[in-house]
Amino acid sequence: MRVVAAMSGGVDSAVAAARLLDAGHDVVGVHLALSQSAATLRESARGCCTLEDAGDARRVADRLGIPFYVWDMAARFRSDVVEDFVEEYSAGRTPNPCLRCNERIKFAALLDKALALGFDAVATGHYAQVREVADGRGGIRRELHRAVDQAKDQSYVLGVLDAEQLARSFFPLGDTTKPQIRAEAAARGFAVAKKPDSHDICFIADGDTRGWLARRLGERPGEIVDEAGEVVGEHQGAYAYTVGQRRGLHLGRPSGDGTPRYVTEVDVARNRVVVGPAELLGIDALRGDHVRWCGEPPVGQVRVGAQLRAHGAELPATAWIEDGTEDGTGAGVEDGVEGGELQVRLDERTRGVAPGQSVVLYDGTRVVGSATIAQAWRA
């Protein structure tokens, strides 16, 4: 197959490209230029897509003897990921930009361009597995599963992929641990074998999300109140807070019993942040929109594992779709296409779930689908 290997300049995508080549595929390396002002040198392990990263990717491609290109997707990344991030925070929600990037850039814009140029698939260095299984109708379907290395598993941020995208995706690292990948990179002579992983939000290289948002949204002073409505502090913009947050509140009045207080609500319309004790954070019911399925939608109520954060625990739950049809099957909805609202009931309460986050559903190690959390409450 003719495959585009997305090469970030890190060790994971380098080994992924090499493994594709070893498997006999016709591989072309592509580095995505996502920043319109890429720094010459990386200042820390935060961020990615710098000129240094592009150079690292090119050197790996040269060592492999494969063609290498840089595709400029900075404008698409800005509109589909960065501006979406700002809009979500300004509306009082807490988005996950990595999921948006996978959905709209790597497995939409990149995949669409690759297919238009005659390629068959796209490969990345994500830690996840694709398994081919019989579909019961004489054919084969592809399923997305967790990686062998649970500490590095990235199936959560791939939960936005639909069946058609999954059919044209390769994740060559899913059966290997990170230490093994670094050892393999060193054995292949890749200079990136010891390169630190990028982390956090790639377009906020210094990690100061609040400051980054303030420069774009401006300061909007307002009140921080407790669960009774009493003013206990001030803020410079409700958009900078998220449900479950404890640090950085700078409250002028301590709680009556001296216990810590957490953000329990972000009311952007009233520019108000509500804080309260930890027990007010406990929720066991979710409603999600922007539903995506990695295959056929489930029928009726199903038992699933629900993961609410990229590195969070999987929680036992029951899920179903409310879409206006009598049986909840999503009649007329094609595989992978959002339709209806996802309802999730957790077996036990959990804390710190904010609107805008994503819930990804699992059946064992298989990814069932995902949704953006619109509301979380105590059932």
Q: Which residues are catalytic, by number?
A: 101, 202
As a whole number of angstroms, the distance between CA 352 and CA 281 comes to 6
Non-local (6+) Cβ contacts of 301 within 8 A are 318, 319, 320, 328
Report how far apart, in Å, the C-alpha atoms of 293 and of each of 95, 106, 289, 339, 373 are. 19, 17, 12, 10, 15
Angle of CA points 159, 7, 183, to nearest 5°: 95
Q: Which tokens is 307 given? A: 């993961």
Query: How far is C-alpha 16 from the chain's CA centre?
Result: 20
Beta bridge partners of 358: 372
Contact in structure between 56 and 196 (CB atoms under 8 Å): no
Q: Is 330 left (phi over 0), alpha (psi -120 to 50) or beta?
A: left
Give the up-direction half-sphere exposure of residue 278: CA atoms within 13 A in the CB hemisphere: 8
As a whole number of angstroms, the distance between CA 353 and CA 91 comes to 16
As a whole number of angstroms, the distance between CA 224 and CA 132 comes to 52
